A and B are shown apart, each in its own frame.
Chain A
Amino acid sequence: MSLTDYLTADRVVILSGRTKQEVLDELIALSCKCFPRLVREVLAEAITHRESLMSTGIGQGLAVPHARLDGVTEPMVVVGVAKDGVEGYESLDGGPIHVLLLIVAGKGQHEPYLRLLATALEVLKDPAVREAIINCPSAQEAYRTLTGV
Chain B
Amino acid sequence: MDYLAEANLDMSHLPVLLVVGLAIFFGTIGAKIFQRLRIPQVVGYICIGLIVGRSGFQLINAAALKNLEPFNFFALGVIGFLIGGELHRDVFRKYGMQFFKILLAEGMGAFVVVAIGTGLVVWWAHGDVATAVAIGLLFGAISSATAPAATVDVLWEYKALGVLTTMVFAIVALDDGLALALYGVASSVAENVTGKGTGNVWLAMGKIAKELLGAVCLGVLAGFILNYLLRRLRQADKGLGLIIGWMALVIGCARAFDLDMIVASMALGATLTNLAPRRSHPAFSVVESFATPIYVLFFVSVGARLSVGSLPGWMWGLVVVYAIARTVGKMTGAYLGARWAHAAPTVRKYFGLCLFSQAGVSVGLAVLAASRFNGEIGGTMIDGVRSGGIRIGDIIIMTITTSTFVMQLLGPPCVKFAIRKAGEIGLNVTEADLIKERAVAAVVDKKSPSFNEGTPMAEILRVIAEIDATVYPVVDDERRLVGVITLNGLKQSFRAEGMSQWLVAFDLMEPVPDTITEHAPLAEAMDRMNEQSLEYLPVVDGEESLGLVGVIEARKVRRQLSQEILRRHRVAEETDSPALQAFTEQG
Checking B498, B504, B507, B511 against A107 with a beta-carbon cut-off of 8 angstroms, the contacting residue is B511
Expressed in whole angstroms, the Cα–Cα distance for A54 and B511 within the complex equals 20
Checking B493, B502, B510 against A54 with a beta-carbon cut-off of 8 angstroms, the contacting residue is B502
Q: From residue B454, how far is it (CB to closest CB) to chain A in Å?
A: 4
B430-465 near A? 1/0 per residue, CB < 8 Å: 000000000000000000000001101000000000
**Is residue B506 contacting chain A, with contact meaning CB distance below 8 A?**
yes
Interface size counted on chain A using CB atoms at 8 A:
21
User: A108 to B496, Cβ gap below 8 A?
Assistant: no
Q: Which residues of A contact B454 (CB under 8 A)?
A: 52-54
Expressed in whole angstroms, the Cα–Cα distance for A124 and B502 within the complex equals 16
Checking A52, A92, A115 against B502 with a beta-carbon cut-off of 8 angstroms, the contacting residue is A92
Scan residues 145-188 of chain B and give those whose CB is less than 8 A from a CB of chain A: none
Q: From residue B190, how far is it (CB to closest CB) to chain A in Å?
A: 84
Q: From residue B340, how far is it (CB to closest CB) to chain A in Å?
A: 72
Scan residues 43-89 of chain A and give those whose CB is less than 8 A from a CB of chain B: 50, 52-54, 56, 58-59, 64, 66
* Known contacts A53-B454, A54-B454, A108-B510; A117 and B504 CB within 8 A of each other: no
User: A58 to B501, Cβ gap below 8 A?
Assistant: yes
Expressed in whole angstroms, the Cα–Cα distance for A53 and B452 within the complex equals 9
**Is residue A111 contacting chain B, with contact meaning CB distance below 8 A?**
yes
Q: From residue A62, how far is it (CB to closest CB) to chain B in Å?
A: 10
Q: Which residues of A contact B213 (CB under 8 A)?
A: none
Expressed in whole angstroms, the Cα–Cα distance for A3 and B360 within the complex equals 84
User: A114 to B492, Cβ gap below 8 A?
Assistant: yes
Q: From residue B450, how far is it (CB to closest CB) to chain A in Å?
A: 15
Is chain B's binding surface mostly helix, strand, loop or mixed? mixed
Q: Which residues of A contact B498 (CB under 8 A)?
A: 58, 121, 125
Q: Which residues of B contact A53 (CB under 8 A)?
A: 453-454, 504, 506
Expressed in whole angstroms, the Cα–Cα distance for A108 and B499 within the complex equals 20
**Is residue B495 contacting chain A, with contact meaning CB distance below 8 A?**
yes
**Is residue A122 contacting chain B, with contact meaning CB distance below 8 A?**
yes
User: B493 to A56, Cβ gap below 8 A?
Assistant: no
Expressed in whole angstroms, the Cα–Cα distance for A110 and B501 within the complex equals 18
Expressed in whole angstroms, the Cα–Cα distance for A66 and B506 within the complex equals 11
Expressed in whole angstroms, the Cα–Cα distance for A94 and B506 within the complex equals 23
Q: Which residues of B contact A115 (CB under 8 A)?
A: 492, 495
**Is residue B489 contacting chain A, with contact meaning CB distance below 8 A?**
yes
Q: From residue B379, how far is it (CB to closest CB) to chain A in Å?
A: 91
Expressed in whole angstroms, the Cα–Cα distance for A107 and B512 within the complex equals 10
Expressed in whole angstroms, the Cα–Cα distance for A53 and B459 within the complex equals 14
* Known contacts A115-B495, A118-B495; A54 and B456 CB within 8 A of each other: yes
A25-51 near B? 1/0 per residue, CB < 8 Å: 000000000000000000000000010
* Known contacts A110-B489, A110-B510, A115-B492; A54 and B504 CB within 8 A of each other: yes
User: B502 to A56, Cβ gap below 8 A?
Assistant: yes
Expressed in whole angstroms, the Cα–Cα distance for A56 and B501 within the complex equals 10
Q: Which residues of B contact A58 (CB under 8 A)?
A: 498, 501-502
Expressed in whole angstroms, the Cα–Cα distance for A58 and B493 within the complex equals 15
Closest partner residue, chain B, to A108 (CB atom): B511
User: B506 to A117, Cβ gap below 8 A?
Assistant: no
Expressed in whole angstroms, the Cα–Cα distance for A112 and B499 within the complex equals 15
User: A122 to B496, Cβ gap below 8 A?
Assistant: yes
Scan residues 452-485 of chain B and give those whose CB is less than 8 A from a CB of chain A: 453-454, 456
Q: Which residues of A contact B504 (CB under 8 A)?
A: 53-54
User: B506 to A114, Cβ gap below 8 A?
Assistant: no
B496-539 near A? 1/0 per residue, CB < 8 Å: 10110110101100110000000000000000000000000000
Expressed in whole angstroms, the Cα–Cα distance for A59 and B501 within the complex equals 10
Expressed in whole angstroms, the Cα–Cα distance for A108 and B510 within the complex equals 6
* Known contacts A53-B454, A54-B454, A117-B496; A92 and B506 CB within 8 A of each other: no
Most chain-A Cβ atoms within 10 A of its Cβ — which of B498, B501, B502?
B502
Q: From residue A39, how far is it (CB to closest CB) to chain B in Å?
A: 19
Q: From residue B79, how far is it (CB to closest CB) to chain A in Å?
A: 55
User: A111 to B453, Cβ gap below 8 A?
Assistant: no
Most chain-A Cβ atoms within 10 A of its Cβ — which of B456, B489, B511?
B511
Q: From residue A68, how far is it (CB to closest CB) to chain B in Å?
A: 8
Scan residues 101-142 of chain A and give those whose CB is less than 8 A from a CB of chain B: 107-108, 110-111, 114-115, 117-118, 121-122, 125
Expressed in whole angstroms, the Cα–Cα distance for A103 and B195 within the complex equals 108
Expressed in whole angstroms, the Cα–Cα distance for A138 and B111 within the complex equals 111
Q: Which residues of B contact A56 (CB under 8 A)?
A: 502
Q: Which residues of B contact A117 (CB under 8 A)?
A: 496, 499
Expressed in whole angstroms, the Cα–Cα distance for A50 and B505 within the complex equals 10
Expressed in whole angstroms, the Cα–Cα distance for A118 and B498 within the complex equals 10
Expressed in whole angstroms, the Cα–Cα distance for A53 and B504 within the complex equals 8
User: B493 to A114, Cβ gap below 8 A?
Assistant: yes
Q: From residue B521, how far is it (CB to closest CB) to chain A in Å?
A: 28
Expressed in whole angstroms, the Cα–Cα distance for A118 and B454 within the complex equals 20
Closest partner residue, chain B, to A118 (CB atom): B496
Q: From residue A28, how far is it (CB to closest CB) to chain B in Å?
A: 18
Expressed in whole angstroms, the Cα–Cα distance for A92 and B499 within the complex equals 12
Expressed in whole angstroms, the Cα–Cα distance for A52 and B453 within the complex equals 10
Q: Which residues of A contact B489 (CB under 8 A)?
A: 110-111
Expressed in whole angstroms, the Cα–Cα distance for A4 and B191 within the complex equals 108
Expressed in whole angstroms, the Cα–Cα distance for A58 and B454 within the complex equals 15
9 contacts between A and B (CB under 8 A): A50-B506, A53-B506, A54-B504, A58-B501, A59-B501, A107-B511, A114-B492, A114-B493, A118-B499
Given contacts A115-B492, A121-B498, A121-B499, 20 further A-B contacts (CB under 8 A): A52-B454, A53-B454, A54-B454, A54-B504, A58-B498, A58-B502, A66-B507, A92-B501, A108-B510, A108-B511, A110-B489, A110-B492, A111-B492, A114-B492, A114-B493, A115-B495, A117-B496, A118-B495, A118-B499, A122-B496
The 6 closest A-B pairs by CB, nearest first: A118-B496, A53-B454, A118-B495, A114-B492, A58-B502, A107-B511
Residues of B within 8 A of A (CB): 453-454, 456, 489, 492-493, 495-496, 498-499, 501-502, 504, 506-507, 510-511
